[in-house]
Chains A and B, each alone.
Chain A
Amino acid sequence: MKRVICYVNQFFGGVGGEDKADQEPYIVEGTVGPTMAINGALKDAQVTHTIVCGDNFMGSNTDEAVRRIMEMLEGKEIDLFIAGPAFQAGRYGVACGTICKAIKEKLHIPVVTSMNAENPGVEMFKKDVIIFKGGAGAVKMRQDVGVMMKYVNKVLAGEETLGADAEGYFARGCRHERFLEDCRENTAAYRGVQMLLKKMAGLPYQTELEIPKKELVPIAPPVADLSKATIAMVTTGGIVPVDNPDRIQSASATRWGRYDITGMDRLKEGEFKTIHAGFDPAAANADPNVIMPIDAMREYEKIGFIGKLHNFFYSTVGTGTTEAEARRMAKEMIPYFKKDKVDAIIMGST
């Protein structure tokens, strides 16, 4: 008998609504609320425990919440971990993603969750965690659990799974080969000729390798008068204060930070460093200005070549970071530039 442990928030755990969202994590034996349905759908496996945690507690004390939950799991036999379904609930979705990712990395067991496409947790965690495509609200509970459990039962039985589309989870940018049934209609030769016949007839067909659309960003028009312009600096080179206060990841980043440089002539060694995992950091740690050239920009400011250097620089890590994440982070930065009337941004290469 395989063992499954589940995670739900305070609401589905029966503790209460928004007023109980600060609930500290606790663990109970057996099922709670929706994990009963999960248990019912398991073949030759059972839900041995359920963890309940308030969304706010997980959101504002993430490290502490994860640490306590990992402690609770110590010594327990566990073959698979399920969080949610979280539907469209944003904080719950992020909590499910956070705990699934932590458990996958520390215990190396399969983890799954389910949430709605609109849930911010999808974009944040779909690369790391199998997230099933869920409904908007709890009315879809039975359906969402059903889809997820079909997959879970296969994984627990060591059976072959069929991929994101066929199973119903979000694609992760992770392509693997799959064997089709051995017959003429499934040979590449037959598939190729049939695809050509459809293309010839103008009928719909499914390419087996979709080429991602290249979104080219037009080059910005020149700044009319640099000597009056406020310039901001952005890098994907991972320059951060030495304690990395925003905990930006060293690869596949989903987080970014903005750091005050008011009154600084340059970024000093020992105060700033790079956390980028994609290159040898020695030169950047010895002189962070080689990636984030505050020293040169201050010179330009002094001689009046530019009007003003914006008081913050913006940083994240580019290595392994998806275009979608990069786009989201840029969108989050833009209001700050607008508020401070930044006229142009220099995005240095790394």
Chain B
Amino acid sequence: MKLSIGNLYVTDVQLGDHNAFQDGVLTVDKEGAISFLKECDDHITDLDIVIARPGDDTRIVPVIETIEPRSRKDGRCVFPGVTDDVVPAGDGELMALKGCCVTVVGGTWGSFGDGVIDMGGEGARHTYWSKLINICLVGETDEDFERHEQQKCNHALRWAGHRLAEYLGNIVRDMEPQDTETYVFDPLLKRSEERAKLPNVALVLQPQSQMEALGYNDLLYGWDMNKYLPSFLSPTEVLDGALISGSFMPSSSKWSTYEMQNFPTIKELFAEDGKSLNFVGVIMSNLNVALDQKERSAIMVRNIALNLGVDYAIVTEEGYGNPDADYVRCQVILEDAGIPVVGISNECTGRDGQSQPLVTLDEKLNALVSTGNVSELSRLPACKTVIGNLEAMNRDGMSGSWGYDEVLGKSARDDGSIIMEDNNWFCGDHISGLSVKTMVEF
């Protein structure tokens, strides 16, 4: 499979009355975009588009999703089974608007998996999103059945986000890219002898699938990852929108759709592919909660790896806590099968740093990358502008924030300042590989 991503670099986004991309400036027909999104889904009752730029004194909360705007040259949809029919992904030509993202924001209501982005000040370093121009899609819906639920599907707003990403991508669909990234994944059985001499490396992805009820988990070609068994994928399928993020998991441990489209660990493996290793693809697993489901997935990952002839693997999980059991089990079962592993995830060592970092440990885990501590406390001053609604932090059971604490008070203070756990930064531990955090003994 060959996937080409033609990049155009966005230096500013302007809201206007027509769509255009010229000299780095993306102009968006705001009313046109909003009426298109409302037409697609009559559960949306109100929508606004607001721009937040790097360095702005702006706090965005509750953030539901981030997505890179893209289109496909041949007209196939960008998110198969999500924004349109189920069509193949992983090969072809895409156009991408770099340097920006669609940021889906609850206008009033937050949920467990939603997070915070600070565009400027000390809080900016806690997420990658502060480096991008955030095209914030702020909305209200009539999804009353989950209005007061801690877990929300956020279906209408998430889908609106994916549609907007594709709508924006289509503005540049027929333009010439400034540069092109090309990812070639040769058929495994037809690889050259030279490649066959290199060690075979697979990436095991464990996307979020813990919710037994459908509609909250990550989707693969529109299919809920809870009702799924491990399978083999080309890494280009992941980069091409086959996988989208869900709404469940404390925010800092999630992979957003933007991260899946740009999965940094996949890109780093491609950078070494054909040189020091033979990248033999992605073994796509999941993170279900029941022990037999965990064991079944681990066994199937192991067997796919053995049958492909995988020599080494990287394992990474979208989550912490219960999913650590899958993360650790998968590494142990691979090591036991003679396949040495590197693991990439975050830790939960508590506010005092003294708790056990993963819920289960095994001495066979001897090569781990740590991307952050979910329980670190952040205290930050008010921002001049809030996009969304700070009160969601106090009211809606967002992970890492709270409405009452006898010592710390509430998370969103009346003066606009906040106190919360790292858990609440939107994808803040960037387990996908963007994280420049590590963990050390203090």
Which A residues contact B (CB, under 8 angstroms)?
161-166, 171-183, 186-193, 195-197, 199-200, 205, 207-209, 211-214
Contact = CB atoms under 8 A, between A and B. Distances in A.
A175 B312 contact: no
Top-6 shortest CB links A-B: A189-B433, A163-B440, A189-B264, A174-B353, A171-B441, A164-B441
Contact of A188 (B199, B344, B352): B344
B435 A188 contact: yes
A180 B312 contact: no
A187 B442 contact: no
B433 A163 contact: no
Interface in B245-273: 264-265, 267-269, 271-272
A162 B440 CA distance: 8
Contact of B357 (A186, A188, A189, A209): A209
B353 A175 contact: yes
Contact of B125 (A174, A179, A191): A179
Nearest to B199: A200
A188 B441 contact: no
A188 B371 contact: yes
A180 B373 contact: no
Nearest to B355: A175
Nearest to B371: A188
B439 A177 contact: yes
Contact of B439 (A161, A186, A200, A209): A209
B441 A172 contact: yes
B369 A191 contact: yes
A196 B391 CA distance: 44
A199 B312 contact: yes
Interface residues of B, number: 53
B283 to A, nearest CB: 15
B436 interface: yes
A161 B370 CA distance: 18
A195 B367 contact: yes
Contacts of A177: 370, 372-373, 376, 422, 437-439
Interface string B123-162: 0010000000000000000000000000000000000000
A211 B363 contact: yes
Contacts of A173: 354, 441
A197 B268 contact: no
A196 B276 CA distance: 11
B258 to A, nearest CB: 14
A162 B442 CA distance: 8
A128 B117 CA distance: 35
A174 B437 contact: no
A173 B272 CA distance: 36
Contacts of B314: 192-193, 196
Among B347, B376, B422, find the residue whose CB has the most chain A CB atoms closer than 10 A.
B347
B3 interface: no
A328 B344 CA distance: 35
Nearest to A208: B370
Contacts of A180: 436-438
A195 B342 contact: yes
B54 to A, nearest CB: 13
A246 B360 CA distance: 35
Given A163-B442, A165-B440, A191-B369, A175 B268 contact: no
B257 to A, nearest CB: 17
Contacts of B442: 161, 163-164, 172, 174-176
30 contacts: A164-B440, A164-B442, A171-B441, A174-B353, A174-B354, A175-B349, A175-B442, A176-B440, A177-B373, A180-B438, A183-B436, A188-B437, A189-B265, A189-B344, A189-B434, A191-B369, A191-B438, A192-B316, A193-B342, A195-B342, A196-B277, A197-B272, A197-B276, A199-B312, A200-B311, A200-B312, A200-B340, A205-B367, A207-B366, A209-B368
